[in-house]
Amino acid sequence: MDGDAIRQWLAALDSISYYELFRVEKTATHDAVRDAFHAFAESFHPDSHHWRHPTEQAAIGYIFRRGTEAYRVLSDQQLRFRYDEALANGILRPENLIVDADGPRSHSMAPPNTAGGLGNRLSDKVRNPNARPFVLRVEELAKKGDPQQAKLQLVMAMHMDRGNPALEAYAKELDEAIKAKAEEAKKSWKK
């Protein structure tokens, strides 16, 4: 795979569905999706490209993360159903289902280390895949400015991914945000 092919993949990623990414039909079985992901991974697994220039490595890592995101959604029956509903409404990457590796986003209360580059989101630091949906919800709630509900979701994630330092650090940030929001509410109530 040359640099032009990598650029073409990057250019196409935001305009294709997860099904198109793996070149499977919407009716593809779980086994067909798994086989398609394995074929995809043979081409784009970052370990196979360690010899490339760092820029190309980053691009291939980004493409691979999009593939793992697609596989996670398409291989989970509930997530796939929700994805199909979103797709029917023209949404290729629904926020509440994805592991977004697009880098910085505007957050009213951003998860730690989101300020730069690929793969710096809190959800990228999850070690147990069962905790990932909760962390995605944490990020969504934090973006909406609801630290209290985000903390509830984070507690669930922390039970599944015990001892994760990134989750523990963010729990402390959420506690501070909850405290600040309570102080703000108290001041406005006194007026």
Can you give the CATH number for the domain in which 49 is found? Answer: 1.10.287.110
Closest among 175, 169, 120, 121 to 151, alpha carbons compared: 175
Domain span holding position 73: 1-98
User: Per-residue confidence of the chain (191 residues) as pLDDT tens digits?
Assistant: 888 889 899 889 889 999 999 999 999 999 999 999 999 999 999 888 888 888 888 899 999 999 999 999 999 998 999 999 989 988 888 776 764 433 333 333 344 443 333 345 888 788 887 888 888 888 888 888 889 899 999 999 898 888 888 899 899 999 998 888 888 877 777 66
Residue with tokens 């779980």: 30
92 and 109: one domain? no
94 and 3: one domain? yes
147 and 88: one domain? no
In whole angstroms, give the CA distance from residue 63 to residue 10.
7
Q: How many domains does the chain have?
A: 2
- E-assigned strands of 11-157? none
Residue 147, SS3 per DSSP: helix
- What share of residues in the chain are helix, strand, coil (percent, to 5)? 65, 0, 35
End-of-domain residue from the set 98, 131, 163 = 98
